[in-house]
Amino acid sequence: MTTIAELHDRARQRLVPEYYDYFAGGAADETALADNERAFRRLALMPRVLRGRADRDISVELPGARASMPVVVAPTAFHRLAHPDGELATARAAAAAGTVLIASMAATVGVGEMAAAARAVDPGAALWFQLYLQSDTRVTETLVRRATDAGCSALVVTVDSPVFGRHERDRRNGFADLPAGFAAENMRDLPGGRRNIEMTPMSWEHLDRLRASTSLPVLLKGILHPEDAHLAIERGADGIVVSNHGGRQLDAVPASIDALPRIAEVAGGRVPVLLDGGVRRGSDVAIALALGAVAVGVGRPVIWGLAADGELGVRQVLELLREEFDHTLALCGGQGPADLTRDLVTVRGPEGGKW
Ligand SMILES: Cc1cc2nc3c(=O)[nH]c(=O)nc-3n(C[C@H](O)[C@H](O)[C@H](O)COP(=O)(O)O)c2cc1C
Ligand SMILES: O=C(O)C(=O)c1ccccc1
């Protein structure tokens, strides 16, 4: 396989159609889903010449982790529907690639098992834990304890989901929940006996409470409005993930990459800004970094790799992105991620863009 697109094709052939739709789908008309990829195609890189080096270093420093490249695994649910090894395979592949795995609260393997699988490959493997704040504080605290005990080095709180997204493919297919034999393993034996993941409107005060209860860095995932980036930093967030949830929550939102520049401007280097949504090529990674991200997350590409070929498939996806990004950096005359500056990005078309 030479591209993520080919792994996607293979995954489509292998997956149960209802599960394929669950992974591939977005909200409502899937406008944001499509725009996430399309928006990268509307942008172009302006390479610099006669200043590159052969000894490039593409590793990046992130909260609680150093990653071998500016690509991390975004949190996605239900990996056992893509491959029997599920999140164990994903965890091993991320560890082999030397990058951060953001474990989903909705994983079909518990975070402790994921961490153990990753550490068997590389004792220094880094994991973060993604969570939705739960209205019962005891539930949130139990989840944080499980993540901490597993050795997670940061928490990623997803803030774009006060309600579930309108996944119309799933409605049509009658796909509402995990089939028998699968479970959201992090949700076992919780105070109050709840097993399901609650999505409910939460507030900045809930976040304050979480921050007071843990010493782990807390990143907020799903920020699109610059004013929320400002509030997040003011409230002590340790990082921001610019994301429209892969087009699965509000459909009437901009592409993640289009929302990035203003948020990077607000952050002004005070906290790291990450981006996810629509990253399919190393050049997409380079564009995101040039527009102010320190790293990007990939969601569906990892699932396509997993469905295509388990751990090996996920490894392939991550190695393709590494190779392509390094190649792009070389062609742009860069030695490291810091050489990707905003002046390298322009809008496609005869007039170019004003950045
Ligand atoms: C099937 C699927 C499940 C997801 N599950 C979660 C989740 O449990 N928690 C979360 O914060 N984001 C979740 N996301 C969103 C991803 O973290 C990420 O924002 C998105 O997939 C990025 O876009 P991409 O798929 O184009 O790379 C999910 C996305 C997909 C496609
Ligand atoms: O499907 C999703 O995008 C998602 O975020 C999620 C949240 C809870 C349970 C399963 C998936």
pLDDT at 1: 86
pLDDT in tens, 89-120: 999 999 999 999 999 999 999 999 999 999 99
pLDDT at 352: 56
Query: Binning pLDDT at 50, 70 and 90, where does residue 354 land?
Result: low
pLDDT at 281: 99
Query: Binning pLDDT at 50, 70 and 90, where does residue 350 land?
Result: confident
Cα of 106 vs centre of ligand 2, distance in Å, is 7
pLDDT in tens, 31-52: 999 999 999 999 999 999 999 9
pLDDT in tens, 65-84: 999 999 999 999 999 999 99
Would the CB of 81 count as within 6 Å of ligand 2? no
Q: Is residue 351's pLDDT more than 80?
A: no
Q: How large a percentage of the chain has pLDDT more than 70?
A: 99
Q: State mean pLDDT over 118-144.
A: 98
pLDDT in tens, 145-170: 999 999 999 999 999 999 999 999 99
Q: Is residue 355's pLDDT more than 70?
A: no
Residue ID of nearest Cα to ligand 2 atom 11: 77
Cα of 75 vs centre of ligand 2, distance in Å, is 9
pLDDT in tens, 179-218: 999 999 999 999 999 999 999 999 999 999 999 999 999 9
Q: State mean pLDDT over 49-57.
A: 96
Report residues whose beta carbon is within 6 angstroms of any ligand 1 atom.
Answer: 23, 36, 74-77, 104, 106, 130, 158, 221, 243, 245-246, 248, 276-279, 298-300
From the list 8, 230, 245, 327, the catalytic residue is 245
Q: Which ligand is nearest to the CA of 8?
A: 1
In degrees rounded to 5, what are phi and psi of residue 241?
-110, 110
Domains of the chain, first to last = 4-347 (3.20.20.70)
